[in-house]
Amino acid sequence: MGYMKTFVLMAAMTALFIGIGAMIGGTSGMMIAFAIAVATNVFSWWNSDKLVLRYYGAKEVDPTNAPDLYNMVAQMVENANMPMPKVYIIENDQPNAFATGRNPENAAVAATTGLLRRLDMGEVAGVMAHELAHIKNRDTLVMTITATLAGAISMIANFMMFFGGGQNNRMGILGSLAVMILAPLAASIVQMAISRSREYEADRIGAEICGKPEWLASALEKIAMKAEVIDNPAAERNPSTAHMFIINPLHMHAVDGLFSTHPKTEERVRRLRAMDV
């Protein structure tokens, strides 16, 4: 199922690339955009996880320099009967976390220093279990490719600002402006469609992995409260990665309702506290 979601995602993003290319430069623009899309898809498949970790300045840790976190993840991995991912810490005061990687054998979990400082050990275990659930469900490939391609679509749409008035552009200036607005929006809609449903499922499986739904419920409440007032500057600069985090890291640009990449925290907490593990 994870691979089918990935295929659908790549097809949708590739269609956006081709459409924008056609609007910019007709048939030749379409072919150039198609080539870029293929190259981006292939590159994203193999490297998007490394790019995201590097973008956030994540540092890999092991039992010698972060024994509490590493051993906790190892215990959750044993509970989940899955391969051990690499473990990273991000220097950021906002409590948050994400998982990445193209499959369970090549995966990583990353926690911010704010998460480790502001949550108790049970709550951190709940968060790590949630991220491991994403890995086990093979959500992480979809998440990281979405972030990479959505950012690329926004970039190519911005080219319309510079080339929108060219003689090869079939849409003219007004059409160019429309594409600049609608292409990134379309990419965001793909992100949202994938993100919301997978969060509920990762919450459920994460609660089963750690054995204590209350740990994760309490963690979600604390993270959501702090994320509203503590900046995550890297996420604010690159909103296309926001859907990867356990709680939306954006508070300056966050939008509720239809255009949110995450379900409402209150509903996630309610479902967790209704579980009987």
What is residue 186's predicted lDDT score, i.e. its pLDDT?
A: 60
pTM of the predicted model as reported, rounded to 2 decimal places: 0.75
Q: Is residue 125 part of a domain?
A: yes
**Would the pLDDT of 32 be above 90?**
no
**Would the pLDDT of 196 be above 80?**
no
Q: Is residue 179 part of a domain?
A: no
Report residue 170 as tokens: 């079939």
What's the CA gap between 152 and 159, in Å, rounded?
A: 11
What is residue 99's predicted lDDT score, i.e. its pLDDT?
A: 93
Q: Is residue 10 part of a domain?
A: no
Q: What is the mean pLDDT of residues 135-149?
A: 73
Mean pLDDT of the chain: 79
Neighbours of 84 (CB within 10 A): 15
164: phi then psi, degrees, rounded to nearest 5: -60, -30
61: CATH: 3.30.2010.10
Q: Is residue 31 part of a domain?
A: no
Q: What is the mean pLDDT of residues 34-52?
A: 66
Q: Is residue 227 part of a domain?
A: yes
Largest CA distance in the chain: 64
**What total number of domains does the chain contain?**
1
Q: Is residue 217 part of a domain?
A: yes
What is residue 143's predicted lDDT score, i.e. its pLDDT?
A: 65
Q: Which of 29-38, 119-128, 217-226 has the lowest mean pLDDT?
A: 29-38
What's the CA gap between 241 and 206, in Å, rounded?
A: 21
Active site residues: 131
Closest to 206 in 3D by CA, of 22, 69, 76 = 76
Q: What is the mean pLDDT of residues 117-129?
A: 98
Q: What range does the domain containing 95 cover? A: 46-159+196-273
